[in-house]
Amino acid sequence: MWLYALLLIGSFAVPFALSFDKKLRFRDKWRFVLPAIVAVAAVFILFDILYTHLGIWGFNERYHTGLSMAGLPFEEYMFFIVIPYASLFIHYAFYIYYPKVHPGPATSRYITIALLLLSALVIAFNSEKAYTFYAFGALIVALLLSFADRTGEISRFYFSWLIILIPFVIVNGVLTGSLIDQEVVWYNPNEITGIRVFTIPIEDFAYGFSLILLNILTINILNHGKPLYKS
């Protein structure tokens, strides 16, 4: 069963089709979006290969095509292209269609500081758990880098992330065992906190948030410090 591939195809199909929407014109932004996705993916894939090799997580052969490289199934490489693309599409569509819906710079700063403190506490109490340390460490890095971004776009991302969470929970839920017999992706129980939302380890939420935020920040850098869309 090629379940992993089917999930990725489903995640990509609608955002790609709507990329040609006349108001959003997301296709016109590909010159910034695609290089950013590839650059961020390269870093995450390196850690993915390492952590798979160390047995911190792994992949159920029952649910992927069998094509692999450096210990990762082909679908895992595509995950870092497809999921950021779909998430970025949602973020920027929200940006265009609901430009005034965001918490504002002051509130956003408080949220960022609160997330930094929370992440630091999680790491402090779980420093021996590799995935916990990695996921919340990546979140800390992404949040700290956001302070250097002058577009203030993280305030919009805090709202668009709430929308992104809907497909995120569906896709990650299936990947981690919801509605199927076995997990598509398994985690070493000694390397995570054990706290889950449905079947999704809490670390996945920090991991996903940092993955998409780093893409947004990279896009802004490639666009010479300007947001991809004007307010």
Per-residue pLDDT of the chain (231 residues; tens, 9 = 90+): 799 999 999 999 999 999 999 889 999 999 999 999 999 999 999 999 999 999 999 999 999 999 999 999 999 999 999 999 999 999 999 989 988 888 888 999 999 999 999 999 999 999 999 999 999 999 999 999 999 999 999 999 999 999 999 999 999 999 999 999 999 999 999 999 999 999 999 999 999 999 999 999 999 999 999 999 886
**Inside any domain, residue 161:** yes
Q: How far is CA 126 from the centre of its chain?
A: 22
d(CA 46, CA 63): 22
Q: What pLDDT, on a 0 to 100 scale, did the predictor assign at position 30?
A: 98
How large is the angle between the packed helices 30-53 and 74-97, nearest 10 degrees? 140
Q: What pLDDT, on a 0 to 100 scale, did the predictor assign at position 104?
A: 84
Q: What pLDDT, on a 0 to 100 scale, did the predictor assign at position 102?
A: 82
**Inside any domain, residue 198:** yes
Q: Could you tell me the residue range of the domain that residue 142 belongs to?
A: 3-13+41-222
Contact 56, 191 (CB under 8 A): yes
**Inside any domain, residue 227:** no
**Inside any domain, residue 20:** no
Nearest residue to 71 (alpha-carbon basis) of 80, 61, 81: 61
Domain count within the chain: 1
**Inside any domain, residue 125:** yes
Q: What pLDDT, on a 0 to 100 scale, did the predictor assign at position 82?
A: 98
Local structure of residue 148 (DSSP, 8 states): T
The three-state secondary structure class of 59 is strand
**Inside any domain, residue 31:** no
**Inside any domain, residue 29:** no
**Inside any domain, residue 21:** no
